[in-house]
Amino acid sequence: MSRLDVHIYEAAHELNQAGAGIVFYSRTLGLLHDLGFGDALHKFETIEPRGSLVFSLRKSDQPEGTCIHDMFLPGPMCTLHRAGFQQMILDALSPEIHVHLAHRLLAVDTPTDTEVVLKFTDGTTETCDLLVGADGLRSIVRPALLERLVQAGVLTEAEREDKIDPVWTGTYVYRGLIPSEELQAKYPGHPSLTKPTQYIGRDKHITSYPIAQGRYVNVVPTYSDFTQDHTHIASCGAGSKATNDEILPYFEGWEELATVLVENFKCIGKWPIMQLSPLPRYADGRIILLGNSAHAMSQHLGAGAGQSIEDGIILARCLNRALSKDAGPPTPAAIASIVSTYNTLRVPIGNYVQERARVQGKVYELAFLGEPALKPEVCLCMEKPQLAFPSEMHDTDAKDTVLGGVEENARAEVPTKDKDASKVEQMTNIYDLPPHYGALSELGKVSCLTTENYSWPSSRFVRRWDEEAERLLAN
């Protein structure tokens, strides 16, 4: 920190801890342990002989539900109250970091190549050498980055308009809690008291799991109209008020295990689930995006918070690597190196996880059969070549084309070791599905895809990019 003067500008007048449940899986937990949060998190982690039970899946849109399967993944997981996690982070905040409350960002300007000017709604301004926009779904920083990408010819005006605002996935989600003792009284031995469960059905599902060391059950009913996927709606900020009576008609005819949850949870609000169209870069010049401002994604893999943490860790390593080479203030060359390396390492994984989360929402609601990425002819088979990585490229000008979202990647011409490989196979395949996938029943495919989506940290794609990160950040 000695060479960095870090200032955080927060719109809120005070730092309140709020929210419902949050889940961390082994990859994110490993990163948090490395940051020194192991003792604080240990009491929340669960480890079972076969690994952690991530979710028990049930088909519940019928009077008598059926178990689909229990999904286990290796390594620990933890479920905790969001407020507890936020407080843990605040308690660890370095005294060298300056936090400025009640500073709502209005606009970003880059009058020169060496400074960024922040304009706040109270009329004040600040200048910085490097701006990290972690300002969420409705980011004020993102438009400034996208304008730079238009000026650089990376995006067209039409593409900028598609990416500047978040888009609706067609899904609404309700969030709330049930005190465990109340659920036990209503339905003794209810499975959600002790294990994470997904109650799935056509165009609707309910996510539930115990949190706060079993004192509460987190309940998240969800319903979707997928004809509205990738549309723009006015309401996409904080949750609006909602009641249990509003939710119950959506789950009429479902098994009692599901309906008892929506009848009795304390609803704290209703949110439209938004995401960004994939960005080709998360940084340019002296502007960097982090978290939801870069890759806002649906909640269906519980990976959004983890991806934000990965952004921060990779950015910190990029800073450390660049600043360790020279004494004194960061040079323009050092900042360019930080931005380039951050883009190289974070854009592929962020966009990859974002796309898997989107598809998993359709898997939970039995609306995935028409997904192009899941058709047998485009599923990645073991013998097909993998995406080219920077260390394997001969044409450095092609480097940026490999870093965009799925749509951009489908158009990219990328040199690979196998010159005869289809670029569609190279760039758009995000799944390693088994040869018998096409012969599975619908619920069999639900089992297969859910395990595959939640196993993204161990996919060949992510493992290769992790190797690339260690190579690029080694010195």
Write the DSSP string, 160-174.
HHHHHS-EEEEEEEE
Would you say residue 169 has pLDDT above 60? yes
Nearest to 434 by CA among 378, 383, 381: 381
Looking at residue 423, its pLDDT comes to 34
Per cent of the chain over pLDDT 90 is: 60
Range 35-63 average pLDDT: 83
d(CA 250, CA 259): 10
In this predicted model, which residue has the larger pLDDT, 448 or 392? 448
Looking at residue 419, its pLDDT comes to 39
d(CA 255, CA 60): 6
Instruction: Categorize the per-residue pLDDT at 461 as very low, low, confident or very high, splitting at 50, 70 and 90.
Output: confident
- Parallel, antiparallel, or unpaired for β 98-100 and 216-224? unpaired
d(CA 80, CA 210): 8
Q: At 458, which helix (H) or strand (E)?
A: none
Per-position DSSP letters for 115-152, written without gaps between them:
EEEEEETTS-EEEESSEEE---TT-SHHHHHHHHHHHT
pTM of the model: 0.86
Residue 116, token pair as written in the block: 């960024």
d(CA 344, CA 403): 7
Convert 209-269 into a string of H (helix), E (strand) and C (coil).
EEEHHHCEEEEEEEEECHHHCCECCCCCCCCECCCHHHHHHHHCCCCHHHHHHHHHCEEEE
Would you say residue 18 has pLDDT above 70? no
pLDDT in tens, 297-323: 999 998 999 999 999 999 999 999 988
d(CA 111, CA 117): 8
Candidate ranges 38-52, 78-92, 273-287; pick with highest mean pLDDT: 273-287
Residue 347, token pair as written in the block: 């854009």
d(CA 142, CA 148): 10
Q: What are phi and psi of 48, to 5 degrees?
A: -120, 165
Would you say residue 50 has pLDDT above 70? no
Core vs surface per residue 106-132: b (16+ CB within 10 A) or e: eebebeeeeebebebeeeeeeeeebbb
Looking at residue 306, its pLDDT comes to 93
pLDDT in tens, 430-443: 677 888 888 899 99
In this predicted model, which residue has the larger pLDDT, 458 or 258? 258
Nearest to 457 by CA among 25, 156, 108, 98: 25
Looking at residue 410, its pLDDT comes to 33
